[in-house]
Structure 1
Amino acid sequence: MSYVLLILGLALWVLGHMFKRIAPERRARMGDGGKGLFAAFILGGVVLMVIGYRGTDMIKVWYAPAFLVHVNNLLMLLAIFVFGMSATTGRLRGVMRHPQLTAVKIWAVAHLLVNGDLASIILFGGLLLWAVAEVIVINRSEDWVRPARGEPKGDVKLVIITLVAFAAIAAIHAWLGVWPFPR
């Protein structure tokens, strides 16, 4: 049953995020009330993914070598940094078109490197596929206007925020019983 919840959660996440791209006229007819509905889909998807993932039996598909933990942590630093580029006021603003979706792709690959169980492959692989598809759909449907570059001090803030966020995420993983560093 847990795998069903995991997959259903992924489906709600994808539907909640892609509906306005797949059916823009229908989404427009829903007006502002549709925002709440799709926010509920996304939140429900997250809840189902967490419950499903945590409830699955451990079915190992591969065993990751220990050195990949280092690669994972470096990729996670990069993912947090790239995600933050979407909100930076620094020189890096507008360097890439889809920093948040790119960060999700980096995050998913990092987690696939160190988690070789079936539930992880479904969760992180599914979110990786969604992020790739979302970028393709957006690129085909919308033109992009590159934002103006900001001041270098915004990039310094981004580095500091990245390091603090990484420490917080590592602490949360440790609190949940998943030690994110090599032993």
Structure 2
Amino acid sequence: MTLLIVGIILFLGVHLVRVLLPDFRRSIIASLGEKGWRAAYSIASIATLILLIYGFGQARQVTGVLYNPPVWMAHISITLMLIAMICLVASLLPAGHIATKTKHPMVLSVKIWALAHLLANGETSSVLLFTAFLAWGVILRISLKRRQRAGEITLRPFVSAKYDLYAIIIGIVVWALIIWKLHEWLIGVSPLVI
């Protein structure tokens, strides 16, 4: 469980540097340059993600259950994951209505993903992991809203509704692949087993 906690703190900490330590981030960029910062950030993200995944795998084997979700929660979770996949794909494409209306579709995708998994998983390790990611999403969304109000960032302008169609189609395909086999291959649990 310790590795999971350390992994969560480090991974989410790396992804909250701009929010929590903006001066530190600026000083690193000043000394390493923008490319150097991006390289260091990418390496730290990958390393802490590996630690997080390993820690979660270890914690799953030894932690108990905090609650047993009702069977019907799995259906809600699977449906929420479809929405999360569509939002995730929309965040990676030029802006359509989905991206402009949700403002930060990737952050929304992570929050929906975390909530969906909290509804379906009552193990201590899962609750810890998904609660941390949900909290991270809320903190980041608040920060992005403040930065937008301060004029530090601007929202992506609407490009075309065709990107909404692409996001929906690609999101459904990715979601179907995850439900069909990818979740089981990567995580070891089929979301369809109730």
Q: TM-score, normalised by structure 1?
A: 0.89
Equivalent in the alignment of 2:170: 161
Equivalent in the alignment of 1:5: 3
Residue in structure 1 matching 2:80, options 60, 66, 75: 75
Q: What count of residue pairs does the alignment treat as equivalent?
A: 181
Relative to structure 1, the CA distance from residue 153 to residue 138 in structure 2 (aligned partners, 3 Å threshold; closer, same or farther) is closer
For 1:172 and 1:130, the matched residues in 2 are separated by: 25
Q: Do 1:69 and 1:182's aligned partners in 2 also have CA atoms closer than 8 Å?
A: no
Equivalent in the alignment of 1:103: 109
Write out the 4+ residue segments of structure 1 that deviate beyond 6 Å after TM superposition: none
The alignment's C-alpha RMSD in Å is 1.8
Equivalent in the alignment of 2:192: 181
Equivalent in the alignment of 1:50: 53
Structure 1 stretch displaced more, 50-59 or 99-108:
50-59
Q: Do 2:100 and 2:155's aligned partners in 1 also have CA atoms closer than 8 Å?
A: yes
* 1:121 correspondence with 2:122: no
Alpha-carbon offset, residue 165 of structure 1: 0.9
* 1:40 correspondence with 2:49: no
Equivalent in the alignment of 2:67: 62
For 2:144 and 2:157, the matched residues in 1 are separated by: 21
Equivalent in the alignment of 2:182: 172
Alpha-carbon offset, residue 28 of structure 1: 1.9
Aligned to 1:150, the other structure's residue is in SS state: coil
For 2:53, the aligned partner's letter is V
The runs of 5 or more residues in structure 1 that have no matched partner are none
Give % identity: 29
Alpha-carbon offset, residue 182 of structure 1: 4.4
For 1:81, the aligned partner's letter is I
Q: Which has the higher helix share?
A: 2
